[in-house]
């Protein structure tokens, strides 16, 4: 029984795992809303399963060693079996190669741009005509994160996410260069639309992270970083900045609201109106205009 007692820490740890890990099942990383996030979740589960198997093997050996402690009579010579070592090395090498290949496959899949769906913004010509392609901001220097295929102008929607201490600023298509339509804190995007998210920073290092929509994207001042987003369903997805940037860092949150294409266009119009009204009010010294709530186009038709 004394030897079994030495297993108590392992058993307690296993119990702790079950108790603590259960709430993680509904966590953000495990609830993907884009294809990229799904690919990431798949490979994460695969790799996790591999290391769990390795861990069980190692801890089985440790447990057996703790239970079987009969002392040999004298010092026994080291048992060196070259074939066993070679086989172990080859097995580990094959596992390493397999993990590498799987990693490449899933990473390439995760960073690929998914074309917009039938209800997305770029597919319907009547909807895209409302967005003047020449007014969309183009990046100056795009770093290599993302697909290098040629995407036709007008196909993805380019949205800039600019981090600053300690808030995110989003620049939407529309307006003029130097006077884009912008919003702070909440990003409204159309569903089933390929969005090119262009992440930058104006002061220190930030890191865009919305777990349900995909991986992190570093916002480095002086560099551009790009990720593709194509959300399938409407909803609200929360995230935050994941790079330590000073005392306000925990409050640098992100709220992504995915709405239908029509609602997104209505939002853009409203944004432009509010910004223009706000500028006029500032010029004339008046109070701020109260913002209008977003109308569902369906409701408008009924009226």
Partner 1 sequence: MSATAAKTRSSRTARGAPEVMSRGMPEPSYGWVERMLSSNHKSIGILYVATALSFLAVAVVQWVLMRVQLIVPDATLINAETFNQLMTAQAATAVALFALPLAIGLATYVVPLQIGARGVALPRLAQLSYWLYLAGGVTIYASFLYNPSEGGTVGLPPLSETQFLANSGVDAWALGVALAVLGLVCASVNLVATVHTMRAPGLAWRRSPLFTWASTASAWVLIAVGPVMLAALTMLLVDRNFGGIFFSAGEGGSPMLYQHLAWIFFTGAWTVVVLFGFGVISEVVSTFTSRASVSRNVVGGSLVAIAILGPLAWIQNMYTAPIGTGWMYFGMAVSVALLVPVGLILFNLAATLLAGGLRLTAPAIYAIAGLSLMFFGLAGELCYSIVAVGWQLSDTVAAHADTVAVLVGAGVLGGFAALHYWLPKLRGRAAPDAPAKLAAPLVFLGMQVFLWASLVAALQGQPADMWRFGDLDGFATANLFASIGVFLASAGILTGLFGVARGFAAGRAVGPDPWRGASLEWFAPSPPPPHNFDVVPDVRSAEPMQEIRAAVAARQIAIEPLSEPESSVEAPEPAAVASSQEAGDATVAEEPPAAAGTDDEDAQDAPADGDGDTPTSLA
Q: Does 1 bind partner 1 (CB under 8 A)?
A: no
Structure tokens belonging to residue 15: 């119990």
CB-based contacts of 230, cutoff 8 Å, min separation 6: 34, 35, 113, 114, 115, 116, 117, 120, 192, 193, 194, 195
Residue of 12, 130, 132, 279 interacting with partner 1 (CB under 8 A): 12
**Which one, 221 or 297, has the nearer CB to partner 1?**
221
- Residue 142 to residue 224: CA distance in whole angstroms: 5
8-state DSSP, 231: B
> Please, are residues 209 and 163 in contact by the beta-carbon 8 Å criterion?
no
Positive or negative, the CA dihedral 17, 19, 25, 29 is negative
Residue of 13, 129, 289, 298 interacting with partner 1 (CB under 8 A): 13
- Residue 17 to residue 15: CA distance in whole angstroms: 5
Phi, psi (degrees; rounded to nearest 5) at 129? -65, -20
**Which one, 61 or 282, has the nearer CB to partner 1?**
61
Q: Does 83 bind partner 1 (CB under 8 A)?
A: no
CB of 11 to partner 1, least distance (A): 10
Q: Does 228 bind partner 1 (CB under 8 A)?
A: no
Q: Does 132 bind partner 1 (CB under 8 A)?
A: no
3-state secondary structure 152-189: CCCCCEEEEEEEECCEEEEEEEEEECCEEEEEECEEEE
* Residue 85 CB-density burial (10 A; 0-12 exposed, 13-18 middle, 19+ buried): exposed
> Please, are residues 125 and 267 in contact by the beta-carbon 8 Å criterion?
no
Stretch that binds partner 1, among 141-149, 152-160, 169-177, 179-187 (CB under 8 A): 141-149
> Given the structure tokens 């701020």, which residue do they identify?
288
**Which one, 47 or 183, has the nearer CB to partner 1?**
47
**Which one, 149 or 299, has the nearer CB to partner 1?**
149
Within 143-202, the residues that bind partner 1 by CB under 8 A are 143-145, 165
CB of 280 to partner 1, least distance (A): 33
> Please, are residues 7 and 68 in contact by the beta-carbon 8 Å criterion?
no
Q: Does 230 bind partner 1 (CB under 8 A)?
A: no
CB-based contacts of 271, cutoff 8 Å, min separation 6: 172, 174, 181, 182, 183
Q: Does 51 bind partner 1 (CB under 8 A)?
A: yes
**Which one, 159 or 217, has the nearer CB to partner 1?**
217
Residue of 116, 172, 214, 256 interacting with partner 1 (CB under 8 A): 214
Strand partners, 198: 160, 226
Within 30-49, the residues that bind partner 1 by CB under 8 A are 30, 37, 39-40, 43-44, 47-48
Residue of 65, 129, 177, 298 interacting with partner 1 (CB under 8 A): 65
Within 111-130, the residues that bind partner 1 by CB under 8 A are 111
**Which one, 170 or 209, has the nearer CB to partner 1?**
209
Q: Does 238 bind partner 1 (CB under 8 A)?
A: yes
**Which one, 216 or 273, has the nearer CB to partner 1?**
216
**Which one, 30 or 277, has the nearer CB to partner 1?**
30
Residue of 184, 244, 289, 291 interacting with partner 1 (CB under 8 A): 244
């Amino acid at each position: 029984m004394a030897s079994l007692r030495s297993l108590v820490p392992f058993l307690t740890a296993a119990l702790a795992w079950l108790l603590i890990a259960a709430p993680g099942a509904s966590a953000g990383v495990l609830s993907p809303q884009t294809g990229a996030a799904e690919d990431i979740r798949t490979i994460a589960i695969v790799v996790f399963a591999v290391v769990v198997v390795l861990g069980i093997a190692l801890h089985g050996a440790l447990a057996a060693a703790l239970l079987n402690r009969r002392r040999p009579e004298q010092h026994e010579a080291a048992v060196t079996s070259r074939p066993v070592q070679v086989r172990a090395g080859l097995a580990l090498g094959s596992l390493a190669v397999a993990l590498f290949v799987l990693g490449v496959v899933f990473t390439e899949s995760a960073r690929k741009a998914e074309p917009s769906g039938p209800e997305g913004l770029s597919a319907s010509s009547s909807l895209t005509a409302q967005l003047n392609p020449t007014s969309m901001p183009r990046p100056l220097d795009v770093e290599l994160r993302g697909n290098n295929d040629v995407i036709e102008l007008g196909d993805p929607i380019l949205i800039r996410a600019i981090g600053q201490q300690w808030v995110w600023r989003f620049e939407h298509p529309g307006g003029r260069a130097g006077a884009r339509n912008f919003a702070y804190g909440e990003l409204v995007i159309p569903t089933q639309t390929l969005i090119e998210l262009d992440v930058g920073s104006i002061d220190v290092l930030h890191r865009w992270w919305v777990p349900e929509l995909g991986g992190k994207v570093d916002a480095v001042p002086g560099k551009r970083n790009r990720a593709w987003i194509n959300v399938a369903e409407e909803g609200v997805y929360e995230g935050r900045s994941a790079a330590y940037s000073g005392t306000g860092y925990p409050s640098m949150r992100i709220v992504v609201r995915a709405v239908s294409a029509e609602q997104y266009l209505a939002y853009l119009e409203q944004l432009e109106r509010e910004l223009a009204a706000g500028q006029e009010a500032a010029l004339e010294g008046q109070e701020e205009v109260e913002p209008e709530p977003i109308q569902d186009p369906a409701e408008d038709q009924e009226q």
